[in-house]
Protein backbone atom coordinates (compact mmCIF):
# COMPACT_ATOMS: atom_id res chain seq x y z
CA UNK A 1 0.00 0.00 0.00
CA UNK A 2 1.44 3.33 -1.13
CA UNK A 3 0.23 6.52 0.55
CA UNK A 4 0.87 10.05 -0.75
CA UNK A 5 1.13 12.88 1.78
CA UNK A 6 1.06 16.61 1.02
CA UNK A 7 0.63 19.86 2.91
CA UNK A 8 1.08 23.59 2.81
CA UNK A 9 3.11 25.46 5.44
CA UNK A 10 0.15 25.43 7.86
CA UNK A 11 0.05 21.65 7.74
CA UNK A 12 3.77 21.01 7.41
CA UNK A 13 4.47 19.95 11.01
CA UNK A 14 1.53 17.55 11.16
CA UNK A 15 2.34 16.17 7.70
CA UNK A 16 5.84 15.31 8.96
CA UNK A 17 4.34 13.56 12.00
CA UNK A 18 1.87 11.64 9.83
CA UNK A 19 4.58 10.63 7.35
CA UNK A 20 6.78 9.15 10.10
CA UNK A 21 3.79 7.40 11.65
CA UNK A 22 2.89 5.81 8.32
CA UNK A 23 6.47 4.65 7.77
CA UNK A 24 6.45 3.19 11.27
CA UNK A 25 3.38 1.20 10.33
CA UNK A 26 5.20 -0.18 7.29
CA UNK A 27 3.48 1.77 4.54
CA UNK A 28 5.34 3.04 1.50
CA UNK A 29 5.03 6.84 1.64
CA UNK A 30 5.50 9.37 -1.14
CA UNK A 31 6.01 12.87 0.28
CA UNK A 32 4.80 15.46 -2.23
CA UNK A 33 5.82 18.44 -0.07
CA UNK A 34 5.86 21.08 1.08
CA UNK A 35 9.24 20.61 2.72
CA UNK A 36 9.45 23.58 5.10
CA UNK A 37 7.32 26.16 6.90
CA UNK A 38 7.92 28.74 4.20
CA UNK A 39 4.60 30.07 2.91
CA UNK A 40 3.19 28.21 -0.10
CA UNK A 41 -0.24 27.87 -1.74
CA UNK A 42 -2.43 24.97 -0.58
CA UNK A 43 -4.24 24.52 -3.94
CA UNK A 44 -0.96 23.37 -5.51
CA UNK A 45 -0.49 20.59 -2.95
CA UNK A 46 -4.11 19.52 -2.80
CA UNK A 47 -4.24 19.11 -6.55
CA UNK A 48 -0.88 17.33 -6.66
CA UNK A 49 -2.02 14.77 -4.11
CA UNK A 50 -5.35 14.39 -5.91
CA UNK A 51 -3.61 13.74 -9.21
CA UNK A 52 -1.22 11.26 -7.61
CA UNK A 53 -4.08 9.21 -6.18
CA UNK A 54 -6.39 9.55 -9.20
CA UNK A 55 -3.62 8.34 -11.54
CA UNK A 56 -2.96 5.28 -9.38
CA UNK A 57 0.59 6.36 -8.51
CA UNK A 58 -0.55 6.12 -4.88
CA UNK A 59 -3.38 4.06 -3.42
CA UNK A 60 -4.48 6.67 -0.89
CA UNK A 61 -3.54 10.21 0.13
CA UNK A 62 -3.41 12.41 3.20
CA UNK A 63 -3.45 16.21 2.86
CA UNK A 64 -2.92 18.79 5.59
CA UNK A 65 -3.26 22.58 5.68
CA UNK A 66 -4.02 24.90 8.58
CA UNK A 67 -7.65 23.87 8.83
CA UNK A 68 -7.75 21.07 6.26
CA UNK A 69 -10.46 23.01 4.45
CA UNK A 70 -8.60 24.65 1.60
CA UNK A 71 -6.46 21.67 0.70
CA UNK A 72 -9.48 19.33 0.79
CA UNK A 73 -11.36 21.64 -1.58
CA UNK A 74 -8.39 21.52 -3.94
CA UNK A 75 -8.06 17.73 -3.78
CA UNK A 76 -11.77 17.31 -4.46
CA UNK A 77 -11.43 19.28 -7.72
CA UNK A 78 -9.57 16.29 -9.20
CA UNK A 79 -11.88 13.83 -10.94
CA UNK A 80 -12.12 10.56 -9.04
CA UNK A 81 -11.08 12.03 -5.72
CA UNK A 82 -13.24 11.71 -2.65
CA UNK A 83 -11.44 13.70 0.02
CA UNK A 84 -12.92 13.78 3.51
CA UNK A 85 -11.90 16.40 6.07
CA UNK A 86 -12.06 14.72 9.49
CA UNK A 87 -11.87 16.23 12.95
CA UNK A 88 -12.92 13.14 14.91
CA UNK A 89 -12.41 9.39 14.93
CA UNK A 90 -16.11 8.96 14.19
CA UNK A 91 -15.83 11.05 11.03
CA UNK A 92 -12.74 9.06 9.97
CA UNK A 93 -14.64 5.78 10.34
CA UNK A 94 -17.66 7.05 8.45
CA UNK A 95 -15.78 8.68 5.60
CA UNK A 96 -14.31 5.28 4.76
CA UNK A 97 -17.43 3.19 5.49
CA UNK A 98 -19.84 5.44 3.59
CA UNK A 99 -17.83 7.71 1.25
CA UNK A 100 -14.90 5.38 0.55
CA UNK A 101 -12.72 8.50 0.84
CA UNK A 102 -9.47 7.98 -1.04
CA UNK A 103 -7.88 11.06 0.52
CA UNK A 104 -8.05 12.11 4.16
CA UNK A 105 -7.70 15.81 5.04
CA UNK A 106 -6.51 17.09 8.42
CA UNK A 107 -6.08 20.51 10.00
CA UNK A 108 -2.57 21.09 11.30
CA UNK A 109 -3.65 24.10 13.35
CA UNK A 110 -6.98 22.70 14.50
CA UNK A 111 -6.37 19.05 15.38
CA UNK A 112 -3.84 17.91 17.98
CA UNK A 113 -1.23 15.43 16.69
CA UNK A 114 -2.38 12.59 18.97
CA UNK A 115 -5.98 12.84 17.75
CA UNK A 116 -4.79 13.29 14.17
CA UNK A 117 -2.91 9.98 14.31
CA UNK A 118 -5.97 8.24 15.78
CA UNK A 119 -7.97 9.65 12.87
CA UNK A 120 -5.35 8.40 10.39
CA UNK A 121 -5.30 4.90 11.88
CA UNK A 122 -9.08 4.65 12.01
CA UNK A 123 -9.42 5.77 8.39
CA UNK A 124 -6.74 3.30 7.25
CA UNK A 125 -8.10 0.38 9.27
CA UNK A 126 -11.76 0.80 8.31
CA UNK A 127 -13.30 -0.79 5.21
CA UNK A 128 -15.85 0.60 2.76
CA UNK A 129 -19.28 -0.91 3.42
CA UNK A 130 -20.42 -0.97 -0.22
CA UNK A 131 -24.10 -1.82 -0.69
CA UNK A 132 -26.26 1.30 -0.87
CA UNK A 133 -23.15 3.44 -0.42
CA UNK A 134 -21.64 2.13 -3.66
CA UNK A 135 -24.39 3.76 -5.72
CA UNK A 136 -23.80 7.10 -4.04
CA UNK A 137 -20.04 6.88 -4.48
CA UNK A 138 -20.61 6.03 -8.16
CA UNK A 139 -22.76 9.16 -8.43
CA UNK A 140 -19.92 11.24 -6.99
CA UNK A 141 -17.45 9.75 -9.43
CA UNK A 142 -19.70 10.60 -12.36
CA UNK A 143 -19.71 14.32 -11.47
Rounded distance between C-alpha atoms, residue 114 and residue 90, angstroms:
15
User: Stretches 14-22, 55-63, 64-72, 129-137: which one binds ligand RB5 (CB under 6 A)?
Assistant: 64-72
Contact by Cβ (8 Å): 3, 59: yes
Catalytic residue flag (residue 65): yes
Contact by Cβ (8 Å): 59, 101: no
Catalytic residue flag (residue 83): no
Closest alpha carbon to 75 in 2, 1, 5: 5
Residue 34 touches ligand RB5, criterion: CB under 6 A: no
Closest to ligand RB5 by CB, 75 vs 92, is 75
Q: Catalytic residue positions? A: 65, 98
Which residues of the chain form contacts with ligand RB5 (CB under 6 A)?
8, 10, 42, 65-67, 69-70
Amino acid sequence: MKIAVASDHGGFALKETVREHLKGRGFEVVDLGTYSEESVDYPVYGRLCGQTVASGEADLGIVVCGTGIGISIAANKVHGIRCGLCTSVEMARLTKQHNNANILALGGRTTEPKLALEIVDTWLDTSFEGGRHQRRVDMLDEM
